[in-house]
Chains A and B, each alone.
Chain A
Amino acid sequence: MADHDQPPIPRTVGTALVQLGDVPLADLLAGAGDGVLAHVLGSLVAEGEPGRPGDVSAFESSF
C-alpha cells in the first residue's frame, strides 16, 4: 500500500454516518460485551495507539 508522507490523519476525518453520541467511547466499550460491535469499538480505540499500522489487507488482492 502506498502511504503519503503527510501528517497523520485524525480519526475524525471520516464523516461518521452513525454518531456515537455523548457517552464516551471508553464507557461504550466497557458496556458493549463481546459481540461484533464491541470488537469494532475496541478497534476504534486502538486506532489512536502509536505503532498500529492502518494498512488495508494485501491478502485480498488475491483469490
Chain B
Amino acid sequence: MPADAPPSATRHRPAVAAPRIRQVVLKVHSRCNLACDYCYVYQHADQDWRARPRVMGPGTVRRVADRLAAHVARHGTDRLRVVLHGGEPLLAGLTVLDRTVRTLRAAMPSGVMVDVAMQTNGLLLDEAALDLCHTHGIDVGVSVDGDRAANDRHRRHADGRGSFDEVAAALRLLSRPEHQARYAGLLCTVDLANDPIAVYEGLREFDPPRLDLLLPHGNWTAPPPGRHPDDPATPYADWLIAVFDRWYAETPRRTGIRLFESVIALLLGGRSGTQALGAAEPDVMTIETDGTIEGTDTLKTTTASAMRTGFDVFRHSIDEALRHPSLAGRPTGTAALAPACRACPVVDVCGGGLYAHRFRDGAGFVHPSVYCRDLLRLIGHVRTVVTADLAALRRRVTAASVPTPAAQP
C-alpha cells in the first residue's frame, strides 16, 4: 500500500503566489528495448540522451525527492503525480523502481499524497512487475498503436521485429480482473496509413479504461506525415472523425477517449483533460536520469535548445527551474496565442492546440497549430453531433417532466 498519509492530515498554507507543479515525469531509465521509428526521444532533434546515465541512481532520486518535498511544502500542495518514464522504465528493474517510489514518498511532508503512474511499452510487464504496481498503487499506461499491422508499422525492435505479440500478452495480463485497478489506459499514435476503425477495434480488444490518441509530433518547420501546412485537406480530422463516430455511437460507453471527451467537455464550458486542447497551462516537468530538469517532453521535437533549461536538481530548486520559458515561464492563455487563434470561433475549445505543434524555426511558438485545419474540422464535427444529441436529450427530459393531464370525466 502507498506509504502516504491521508490528504486530511497536516496541510501547509501557500506562502507565495508563484507557479507550482503537480506532475513530474521521472526518467528512471534513459534507454529503450524498442526502436520505434517515430519516438521523439531517439529520433528527433534533441539527442542529449546519449550522454546520460542509463539508470537514475539512488543519490539522484534522493535529491529529486528532497527538491520536490521542498517545493510542495513551500506551496502547500497536498498531491503530486509522478510518472515513471524512460526510455523504458521497466528496464530500470523492479528493485530500482521500488526504491525510487519509497524514496519519493518518504521525503514528502506529512499529508502529501504522491500518485505514481508508469508509461511503458509493456514488453517487461509481467506478474512480478504488476505485483510491484499493486504494492505501490502504480497506475500503468501502455503504448500500443492498434492491431498487429498498425502497431508493428513503427513499434519494432532494433532488428526490425514487430512488438505486437509481446505487448498483446502484457495487455491480456493487465486487463485481467485482478489487475484492472492498475490499468490506466493505452496510448496510441495516429498514423494515416492505418485504418482508423481497425485501430480503434484493435485497441478496444484490450478493454482499456481509456485511450489517448496522439497526433504525430510535428510543427511548421518539420510538418507531420501527410500534413502539408498549406493544403486545405484535413487527413487527421478525417481519421479521427471515423473513430469518433464509431466510439460515440456505442451505448453503453465502452471506453474513454481523452481527446474526444475533452472536446465535448470544452464545448460545454468544462475543462480539458489533454495538453493538446483548451490552452492548457504549461505542462509537465521532466527530470532526466542525471537530474537535469526540463520542460515538457514534446518540446524535444522542436529544437534541441528549446528544452534545455540549464537546471538540475543538484544545483537548483524546482521553483528556480519553473521560471524557465519551457516551463511556467512561458506565456500562457490568450497571451500565448497567435492573432489568428485569438480571433478563431473555436479557440475556447482548441486553445491553439499542443504548444509544440505551433513551433516555427526562428519564429517561436506564436502560430496556430500545424494541425489547425484538422482541429477546426474535428471540433466542428463534434459540435454538430453533440448539439443534436443534447437537443434530443433536452426534449426527452422536458417531455418526461411535463405532468400528464388528468383524465377527463
Contacts of B19 in A (CB 8 A): 2-5
Known: A31-B397, A63-B36, A63-B143. A5 touches B266 (CB 8 A): no
Do A37 and B398 touch across chains, with their CB atoms under 8 A apart? Answer: no
Given the complex of chains A and B, what is the CA–CA distance between A1 and B21 in angstroms? 5
Known: A14-B269, A36-B261. A58 touches B187 (CB 8 A): no
Known: A2-B20, A2-B322, A21-B390. A59 touches B187 (CB 8 A): yes
Chain B residue total in the interface (Cβ 8 A): 84
Contacts of B214 in A (CB 8 A): 60, 63
Do B187 and A16 touch across chains, with their CB atoms under 8 A apart? Answer: no
Closest Cβ of chain B to A7, distance in Å, is 11
Given the complex of chains A and B, what is the CA–CA distance between A21 and B390 in angstroms? 9
Do B398 and A23 touch across chains, with their CB atoms under 8 A apart? Answer: yes
Scan residues 256-282 of chain B and give those whose CB is less than 8 A from a CB of chain A: 256, 258, 260-261, 264-276, 278, 280-282
Given the complex of chains A and B, what is the CA–CA distance between A59 and B214 in angstroms? 11
Contacts of B184 in A (CB 8 A): 59
Do B270 and A11 touch across chains, with their CB atoms under 8 A apart? Answer: yes
Chain A residue total in the interface (Cβ 8 A): 45
Do B268 and A18 touch across chains, with their CB atoms under 8 A apart? Answer: yes
Known: A1-B21, A43-B261, A63-B214. A36 touches B397 (CB 8 A): no
Nearest-neighbor residue (CB-CB) of A32 within chain B: B393
Contacts of B251 in A (CB 8 A): 33-35
Scan residues 1-49 of chain A and give those whose CB is less than 8 A from a CB of chain B: 1-6, 11-12, 14-18, 20-21, 23, 27-28, 30-41, 43-44, 47
Label chain A's interface by main secondary structure: loop
Contacts of A1 in B (CB 8 A): 21-23, 280-284
| Residue from A1, A36, A37 whose CB has the most chain B CB atoms within 10 Å | A36
Do A57 and B273 touch across chains, with their CB atoms under 8 A apart? Answer: yes
Q: Is B185 an interface residue (CB 8 A)?
A: yes
Contacts of B284 in A (CB 8 A): 1, 58, 61
Given the complex of chains A and B, what is the CA–CA distance between A8 and B258 in angstroms? 23
Interface hit among B79-87, B90-98, B219-227: B79-87
Closest Cβ of chain A to B12, distance in Å, is 13
Given the complex of chains A and B, what is the CA–CA distance between A1 and B281 in angstroms? 7
Do B275 and A20 touch across chains, with their CB atoms under 8 A apart? Answer: no
Q: Is B349 an interface residue (CB 8 A)?
A: yes
Given the complex of chains A and B, what is the CA–CA distance between A54 and B271 in angstroms? 7
Closest Cβ of chain B to A20, distance in Å, is 6
Nearest-neighbor residue (CB-CB) of A15 within chain B: B348
Contacts of A18 in B (CB 8 A): 267-268, 383, 386-387, 390
Given the complex of chains A and B, what is the CA–CA distance between A56 and B13 in angstroms? 24
Given the complex of chains A and B, what is the CA–CA distance between A28 and B398 in angstroms? 9
Nearest-neighbor residue (CB-CB) of B281 within chain A: A2
Do A53 and B79 touch across chains, with their CB atoms under 8 A apart? Answer: yes
Scan residues 1-39 of chain B and give those whose CB is less than 8 A from a CB of chain A: 7, 14, 16-25, 36, 38-39
Question: B-side interface residues toward A, CB under 8 Å?
Answer: 7, 14, 16-25, 36, 38-40, 75, 79, 81, 83, 85, 117, 119, 141, 143, 184-185, 187, 189, 212, 214, 247-248, 250-253, 256, 258, 260-261, 264-276, 278, 280-286, 296-298, 322, 327-328, 345-346, 348-349, 383, 386-387, 389-390, 393-394, 396-398, 400-401
A-B pairs, top 9 by smallest CB distance, nearest first, are A16-B269, A2-B328, A34-B252, A31-B397, A58-B23, A35-B251, A59-B141, A15-B348, A18-B267
A and B contact pairs by CB, cutoff 8 A, 17 listed: A1-B23, A2-B282, A4-B17, A5-B19, A12-B269, A30-B397, A35-B253, A36-B260, A40-B268, A41-B268, A47-B271, A56-B273, A58-B284, A60-B187, A61-B275, A62-B187, A62-B297
Q: Given A3-B22, A53-B22, 11 other A-B contacts at CB below 8 A? A: A1-B284, A2-B328, A3-B281, A31-B393, A34-B253, A36-B260, A37-B386, A37-B393, A60-B212, A61-B25, A63-B187
